[in-house]
Structure 1
Amino acid sequence: MQQDMEIDNGDETIQIDFKAKRVIIHDRYENLHILNDLLLALWFLVGSVMFFYKHWTYLGTWLFVFGSAQMAIGPMIRMAHKLHIRRFERFWKAKIESAMGANVEIKANGSQRVEEKGGSEGSSETEDGQGESTRQMW
């Protein structure tokens, strides 16, 4: 479900473009990351200038400590972004599966999955490159 998806239930084929939605999500997290980086630069720049004056050294040290702690926010923003995309894809995959019903063929990025409603819900059979059928849990 990286770029787009094609769903065929026998009667109709539906094409869904997820790229635009993913770009919106990506842009929001990128803006958060940029804001975090600007604040980091501000804390370290002001803290560095404060080291030039003896009476501001203590406060400058605290700005360095605060900026160092804030450096952990960048990886947390990236992790939240990845989790948001994963939840987004799972949400739409489940919504499509429930709306389309049994024997739905889903094509995403060249891979082909045949949904079978019955024996084990939430699983699919996928043909790998060597013609073997493998079971895959969503």
Structure 2
Amino acid sequence: MSLFNSGRSHDSPQQARLYAAYEIAYTGVDFTAAALFVIGSVMFFSEAWQIPGTWCFLIGSLFFAAKPTIRLAREVHYARLGKVETLAERLKEPGDD
């Protein structure tokens, strides 16, 4: 196995709970970012609302940037749950000896 392998999400009940928690966070961030972009787009129809709309775009962009951070944090969390030897074995490429 390697990093970002969804098959590991069910290795144990603890990992299944961990996977679910990170997926909920990821989905929440995704919906929030999308909502901010829709709201910002609507605000741009009025000149008076363009500055708040720009802020919605900026904050939405930060939420979109958080998505890969959540995925990386999940993988680091998985790595900390396992033994270092096991993790090294999972990362070994076929043919490496």
Query: Structure 2 length normalisation: TM-score?
Result: 0.72
| Identity between Structure 1 and Structure 2 (%) | 32
Query: By how many angstroms is 1:65 displaced?
Result: 1.3
The letter for the 2-side match of 1:24 is R
- Given residue 79 of structure 2, which amino acid in structure 1 is its aligned partner? R
Deviating more after overlay: 43-52 vs 68-77: 68-77
Normalising by structure 1, we get a TM-score of 0.52
Q: Distance in 2 between matches of 1:78 and 1:85?
A: 11
Give, in whole Å, the separation in 2 of the partners of 1:90 and 1:83. 12
Listed as ranges, the gaps of 5+ residues in structure 1 are 4-16, 94-133
Which one has a larger percent strand, Structure 1 or Structure 2? 1
Aligned to 1:7: none
Matched residue, 1:105? none
1:78 is matched with: 71
Aligned length: 82
Of 55, 58, 70, the match for 2:51: 58
Which consecutive unaligned segments of at least 5 residues does structure 2 have?
2-6, 87-96
After superposition, residues 1-138 of structure 1 pair within 5 angstroms as 18-90=11-83
